[in-house]
Amino acid sequence: MNKTKKVPITLHNNNNVGHQKHHKKTHHHASLLTNFKSAVMKCASFFALFLSGKRNTQESKVVEDRKSTNKVKGASSSSDLSSDSNKSSSSKLKFSHSYGSSSTSNTQLGTAGNFSFEEICKATAKFSAANKIGEGAFGTVYKGKLNDGTLVAAKRANKDVENKNLAEFKNEVSTLSKIEHLNLVRLYGYLEHADEKIIVVEYVNNGSLREHLDGTRGDGLEIGERLDIAIDIAHAVTYLHMYTDHPIIHRDIKASNILLTDKLRAKVADFGFARLAAEDPSATHVSTKLKGTAGYIDPDYMRSYKLSEKSDVYSFGVLLVEMVTGRHPVEPRRPLSERVTIKWALQMLKQGEVVIAMDPRLRRSPAAKKAVEKVLKLAHQCLAPSRQSRPTMKTCAEVLWGIRKDFRDKTSSHLSHDSHHSANYPHRDAMNDRHKLFDIEGDNDRKFVSA
């Protein structure tokens, strides 16, 4: 009986020992598993941190690369601003623009510009008579050379300049600082020092269109060259009317304000009379004082003092007649019927006597006569008494493009292209160079594109 009582006790003690051993073994395995999991988690965290850092570094590098690429593109874009008449850039250039917009310009005129009077004196050899290249109501224009070799034109105001001319000085600086286009004279800076007021602009080395029409410059302009020049002018004025932040009316489009490079590229100059168009897009005009040059002023503007972009179109019409006839707008020494050139030329057009109206310096080929006839028809539209009846400058550019294309097509089958130009006239391929030279897209629609 005693033996029977001992057995369960012995069995009970053995099970307890086994359980304790099993518990210790299980606890040991759990501890190892925990340590292993902890090590794995630490490794995972380390690798996650490593990969994250590497990815951030790569992303940072991509951002830097993109920034670097943008900088290169920006530099490339800005380098395209140089004009073909003057490739070097002045270290004194004050105003910076995007090529087809004035949004980056916000110039406030103070009492001084970005040139010193000593610099301009040195550049022009103390305003030497040998460097004198022009003169007008505002003052005298001198050719100059800056320290870095940049050629400039310095427009020096007369000492007895009146308030109205002072206003023109500031108006020209303000206008030029807002614009930049291949066919517009470029502003380099200005100077106000005591009674000295000087505007420093791009030097254009081949005189004015008027000088070439008079025969005092060059070897004479053939009709192909005159069409090229007319298109350049139309592009420049279209840019002023449509592609600036605020439309600009030049108000003094005339042959003496059109400068030519040695490659016969036209550049519109002299913005002393320029005026901002109406701020309200729906407005048809802006009321202002009468300014301009006799013979070029829009009669509608002269009568009503209401100025609009179509006033420039009228002046352009006068200029077109001037270009194909070679005459000045008013010829006081001619017979009474021929004194007002536009009336005489359009009368010749009406009578079918275009060849009589042609500049005697022009060759009388069938293609040339047809081109002159088309130009006079366009001029007739520009000279419409009512401004609403006149085309836009954009339309003028497109029509002129078509006239030039037809002229070239007709002459190419008979004579070489170069025979229709003066000596040293640069060959211009309308198909390959139209974007670069004339900012025109397409041969069929002749769409105008701002430079």
pLDDT tens-digit map of 297-310: 999 888 888 888 99
Bigger pLDDT: 319 vs 86: 319
The answer on pLDDT for 74 being more than 90 is no
pLDDT of residue 195: 82
- Which strand (E) or helix (H) includes residue 120? helix 117-123
Phi first, then psi: give them for residue 365, nearest 5 degrees. Answer: -95, 155
| Measured distance CA(416)–CA(440) in Å, rounded | 24
Show which of 178, 202, 226 is a domain's final residue. 202
Evaluate whether residue 328 is within a structural domain: yes
From first CA to last CA, the distance across the chain in angstroms is 122
Show which of 183, 202, 221 is a domain's final residue. 202
Question: Comparing C-alpha atoms, which of 280, 292, 96, 279 is closest to residue 180?
Answer: 96
The answer on pLDDT for 296 being more than 50 is yes
Q: What is the pLDDT of residues 109-159, one digit of tens each?
A: 433 457 889 999 999 999 999 999 988 767 899 999 999 999 999 999 887
Q: What is the pLDDT of residues 161-215, one digit of tens each?
A: 555 567 777 777 888 888 889 999 998 988 888 888 899 999 999 999 999 999 9
Residues 215 and 358 placed together within one structural domain of the fold: yes
pLDDT of residue 158: 82
The residue type at 276: L
The answer on pLDDT for 360 being more than 60 is yes
| CATH number of domain containing 414 | 1.10.510.10
| Measured distance CA(119)–CA(111) in Å, rounded | 17
Residues 344 and 423 placed together within one structural domain of the fold: yes
Mean pLDDT of 31-52: 56
Residue-averaged pLDDT of the chain: 74
Evaluate whether residue 333 is within a structural domain: yes
- Token pair for 322: 């001037």
Phi first, then psi: give them for residue 344, nearest 5 degrees. Answer: -65, -45
Residues 304 and 335 placed together within one structural domain of the fold: yes
Question: Comparing C-alpha atoms, which of 237, 427, 394, 262 is closest to residue 319?
Answer: 237
Q: Do the annotations mark residue 71 as ligand-binding?
A: no
Q: Which residues carry out catalysis?
A: 252
Evaluate whether residue 372 is within a structural domain: yes
Bigger pLDDT: 395 vs 441: 395
Phi first, then psi: give them for residue 407, nearest 5 degrees. Answer: -60, -45
Residues 256 and 171 placed together within one structural domain of the fold: no
Q: Are the C-beta atoms of 190 and 120 separated by less than 8 Å?
A: no
Residues 192 and 318 placed together within one structural domain of the fold: no
pLDDT of residue 40: 54
Evaluate whether residue 69 is within a structural domain: no
| Count of CB atoms situated within 10 Å of the CB of 248 | 23
| Measured distance CA(196)–CA(356) in Å, rounded | 49
Mean pLDDT of 235-240: 96
- Token pair for 376: 């006079």
The residue type at 110: G
Find the domain containing 137 and state its range. Answer: 117-202
Evaluate whether residue 238 is within a structural domain: yes
Phi first, then psi: give them for residue 447, nearest 5 degrees. Answer: -70, 135
Residues 346 and 394 placed together within one structural domain of the fold: yes
Show which of 153, 184, 202 is a domain's final residue. 202
Residues 254 and 348 placed together within one structural domain of the fold: yes
Q: Are the C-beta atoms of 189 and 114 separated by less than 8 Å?
A: yes
Evaluate whether residue 280 is within a structural domain: yes
Bigger pLDDT: 272 vs 34: 272
Residues 122 and 266 placed together within one structural domain of the fold: no
Q: Are the C-beta atoms of 263 and 419 separated by less than 8 Å?
A: no
The answer on pLDDT for 53 being more than 60 is no
Q: Which residues lie closer than 8 Å to 139 by C-beta, 6 or more apart?
A: 155, 156, 157, 158, 161
| CATH number of domain containing 135 | 3.30.200.20
